[in-house]
Amino acid sequence: MSLTVKPPPPSSSVVDLSPRRMLLLLLLVLPPPNLMMTSSPFTVALWRHGNRFSANNICQYLEKPDGGLTVRCSGLRLTQVPVGLSNLTIRLFLDKNLLSFLPTDSFSDLLLLNELDLSHNQLSSLEAGCFRGLESSLRFLDLSSNWLSALDPAALGGLRAAANLTHNPWHCDCRMQLSMPQLDLDPSSLNEVVCQTSDLPNLGAVGMPLVLLVEDWDLCLSVRRTTDVVMLVTMFLWFSMVISYLVCYIRQNQEDARRHMEYLKSLQSHQV
């Protein structure tokens, strides 16, 4: 008698692991990127890629009758300037996001841009040439409520726009004083640069507009004076050490000479 082995009946517990179902399961199981405490570099790269390119898709667009575009990307927690913006954009709102720096050529394709709002971000660094291409078109730039501490002509040079520079932790020093004449911004904009810290804190510089401070004080001269004082003190201490060494050396030689003379006298007395 021959025995035939029958295959087991299909079990109802077998899960269909088709690619579509696996993708759905992963989406349900994985937490969103902003809730993940740790993640692989690959996951972070994918999230950044999505953040960079999908942000443009969720911005609001308003087209004017003349064909100009107003683009609002406010409050989207963006960490980078969205790419792919229309070159017909004349007003761009990137306020209330998480931008911490602006790389070179951030807006170089927006040659018609009239107004740019970057307020209420975390901007602490503006790379050289970040506003390149906007020199002739931009009329208003809002950089208020950020973390900027210095005016960099390499970043802002060439812009003739009116700028809102309020509510930034400006540090007033020699570099800031030298930067002001190199800026082409509307002069009234610089009146809003209020010193939060300064190289002259004891002179009431904190809380004072930079334009008024440099009228009464030469910050660079103060730095040079401070440097001169430090140099003089250092030289005085050095000369004091040299003189002290010479005095000790002379006294030691005199003492050795006195002892030698006494020794010679004692030898003569013994011979007599």
**Residue 178 burial (C-beta neighbours within 10 Å; 0-12, 13-18, 19+):** middle
From CA 153, how far away is CA 175, in angstroms rounded? 10
Query: Would you identify the CATH topology of the domain 41-217?
Result: 3.80.10
Please tell me which residue, 265 or 42, carries the higher pLDDT value: 265
pLDDT band at 24 (very low <50, low <70, confident <90, very high): low
pTM of the model: 0.62
What's 105's DSSP letter?
T
Distance between CA 250 and CA 244 in Å, rounded?
10
- Residue-wise pLDDT for 110-148, tens only, equals 999 999 999 999 999 999 999 999 999 999 999 999 999
Percentage, residues of the chain above pLDDT 90? 43
d(CA 58, CA 64): 19
22 φ/ψ angles, rounded to the nearest 5 degrees: -60, -40
pLDDT in tens, 188-212: 899 999 999 987 766 677 888 998 8
CB atoms within 10 A of CB 70: 16
For residue 72, the surrounding DSSP H or E stretch is strand 69-72
* Structural contact between residues 190 and 180, judged by C-beta atoms closer than 8 angstroms: yes
219-242 pLDDT, tens per residue? 888 544 445 455 656 666 776 788
Determine the Cα–Cα distance for residues 44 and 31; give it in Å rounded to an integer.
13
Token pair 């927006």 is at which residue?
A: 110
In this structure, are strands 140-142 and 115-117 parallel, antiparallel, or unpaired? parallel
The pLDDT value recorded for residue 128 is 95
Asked if the model's pLDDT at residue 89 lies above 50, the reply is yes
Tell me the average pLDDT of the chain.
78
Whole-number pLDDT of residue 245: 77
Distances 120 to 53, 171, 186, 211 between C-alpha atoms, Å: 22, 19, 21, 24
Q: What angle do CA 222, 227, 233 make, to 5 degrees?
A: 125
The contacts of residue 219 (CB under 8 Å, 6+ apart) are: 172, 173, 174, 176, 177, 198, 199, 200, 213
